[in-house]
Amino acid sequence: MFVGALELDVLLGDVHSLKQKRSVVKPVVAELRRRFEVSVAEAGHLDLHRRALIGVAAVAADAEHVRDVMVACERLVAGRPELELLSARHRLVGPEDD
């Protein structure tokens, strides 16, 4: 079993309140869940209205599949015009990692 974790630090465009932030981040989180069947949550920068940290996790029997899903998730977020992807951090945990 392999577990992949992805942290996406994003800068939001023309957002001036936490309410506007939610209206931008929520559809991105929902689309990631729907398209890739991963666990996703806004996991950081909760009190900042122009920044968001989106956490993504996936589990599979094959490490390459987990990597492919994480890369696809990163690509989807990077392609969103209302967001600027500042950084992406990938982690993979497998059977050899005790």
Q: List the chain domain ranges.
A: 2-93
pLDDT at 98 over 70: no
Q: Is the Cβ–Cβ distance between 93 and 2 less than 8 Å?
A: yes
Burial of 10 from C-beta contacts in 10 A (0-12 / 13-18 / 19+): buried
Encode pLDDT of 2-57 as tens digits.
999 999 999 998 888 888 899 899 999 999 999 998 999 998 888 888 999 999 99
The token pair that represents 14 in the structure block: 């023309």
* Edge-to-edge strands, sheet with 83-93: 39-44, 51-60, 2-12, 83-93
The fold for domain 2-93 equals: Alpha-Beta Plaits (3.30.70)
Reported in sequence order, the residue ranges of the chain that DSSP labels E, i.e. its strands, are: 2-12, 39-44, 51-60, 83-93
Predicted confidence at residue 49, as pLDDT, reads 87
